[in-house]
Chains A and B, each alone.
Chain A
Amino acid sequence: MKDMTDNGEGDAGPLIPRQRDMHPVPYDPDYKTSVPRSPKWPLLSMESTPSEETGPRFGHSLLGPLDNNLILNFSKDGSPAIGERILMHGRVLDENARPVPHTLVEIWQANAGGRYRHVKDNYLAPLDPNFGGCGRTITDAEGRYQFLTIRPGAYPWPNRANDWRPMHIHISVFGHSFGQRLITQMYFEGDPLIDRCPIAATIKNRSQLDRLVAPLDMARARPLDFLAYKFDIVLRGRRQTMFENRLEGM
């Protein structure tokens, strides 16, 4: 049997166990919705199996030419979305510091006024008729990705009496194994709302939260066109198998 769980780098062992203390806590009373939605029993920890080590693969043929251009991909007549033009770019790596090539990255975000195009979002800020708020791309052979979009606005949300989300872009990444699946959020350097946000604060390790804050990257900004922000993403890695026996058919 062809071992499609092998990533071609010899890392064909089980997934490296998750360091749960590097992630947000599931239960956080300051983020009220987490209270009834967080499991109370411990998770069942077990070494990964082919069910977690395999995963869906998506080819570059999935993509349309504007899929990673949120400024134009919802426009009906070619008019650009309203807002501050930005390039969001970075690399997807694994814990072994290897690039994760050819993997799907999806993003979604509010418009420049802080409003989502969603039936449940009735914030005062107007919808932009030319902004849908989603995009996707597939990393190249070195794990690089990029999106052209507008800077999302901050917005208030019902939690404590006056909570606001900092400017952020949601990111979904697949990797090559279902057990690598990750959804996170990118924040922007210098936003004073990050330190007031109870969702950001579910991450108790400060240096881990800092990793979600994208720096301004003037080297990738295009003069007279857009600013750039860099956001690298690290997915779980696979253990190397030099001293591990592998059974026939695995």
Chain B
Amino acid sequence: MVQPLDTLIETPSQTAGPYVHIGCIPTFAGVPGVYPQDLGLSPIAPGAKGQIITITGAVIDGTGWALRDAMIESWQPDAAGLFAGQDGADPAVSGFCRFAADKDSGLFTLTTVKPGPVPHRSGGVQAPHISLWVVARGINIGLSTRIYFEDEDNSADPLLARIEQRPRVDTLIAKKTGEGQYRFDIRLQGEDETVFLDI
């Protein structure tokens, strides 16, 4: 026998299920009036400094079908790479957003400010990115990934550098489709499966 550890084990996850919207974005789900408005409607307020961008995409399953019931959360710093609450951070950037796949098309849209680079503990700098957390029916533990940008210098990013199979790096890079417009699809499985993170 040995002494017991005094650390605890994390509570296990369970799927968010098909009705996650009732709990997280009830007005969107058709349960209005419980809260004044849904949490995380936008990660920015008017006057946010930096380039305003729109990212459109879909969460696609192993059969090629876009999920209609996925919910995504995003978290990011401001245009200078500062997170809400840090000294000097842009007060117009909360950095947190909740958005859902459209129930007819499966498309999601995130309008935000383009984030700045963020320091890494090792001393390097992470290329601009937005962290995502994807939940849905059939996803037993929320999936973490990141959006990087095609028109940024991603060459020294420590996370992207860790991806051994270089073609997979592309799954984390949003494609520019116009000025301030990007496309980013999340493929849960199959060809071009998105790199998901254990971080």
Given A118-B30, A185-B14, A236-B10, is A36 in contact with B131 using a C-beta cutoff of 8 Å? no
Q: Once A and B bind, how many residue pairs between them come within 8 Å at the CB atom?
A: 282
B126 contacts chain A at the CB level, 8 A cutoff: yes
A61-B23 Cα distance, complex, nearest whole Å: 19
Residue of B7, B39, B82, B199 near A49 (CB, 8 A) is B199
Using Cβ atoms and an 8 Å threshold, which residues of chain A touch B163? 44
B residues with CB within 8 A of A: 6-24, 26, 29-31, 33-36, 39-40, 61-63, 65, 67, 69, 73, 75-77, 82-88, 94-96, 103, 118-123, 126, 129, 131, 133, 135-144, 146, 158-159, 162-163, 168, 188-190, 193-199
Instruction: Verify A37–B138 contact, CB threshold 8 A.
Output: yes
Q: Can you add 10 more A-B contacts, CB < 8 Å, to A36-B63, A56-B75?
A: A24-B140, A37-B136, A41-B195, A44-B197, A49-B118, A54-B84, A95-B9, A182-B13, A184-B14, A236-B10
Instruction: Verify A67–B188 contact, CB threshold 8 A.
Output: no
A196-B138 Cα distance, complex, nearest whole Å: 17
Main secondary structure of the interface of A (DSSP, over half): loop
Closest residue of A by beta carbon distance from B163? A44
Interface size of A by CB at 8 A reads: 93
Instruction: Verify B140–A93 contact, CB threshold 8 A.
Output: no
Residue of B86, B142, B190 near A4 (CB, 8 A) is B86
A44-B88 Cα distance, complex, nearest whole Å: 32
Instruction: Verify B199–A46 contact, CB threshold 8 A.
Output: yes
Interface code A46-62, partner B: CB below 8 Å = 1, 0 otherwise?
A: 11111110111110001
A residues with CB within 8 A of B: 1-2, 4, 14-15, 17-20, 22-26, 28, 31, 33-41, 43-52, 54-58, 62, 64, 67, 73-74, 93-97, 104, 106-108, 116-121, 132-136, 170, 172, 178-179, 181-185, 199-200, 202-203, 205, 208-209, 211-212, 232-237, 246-247, 249-250
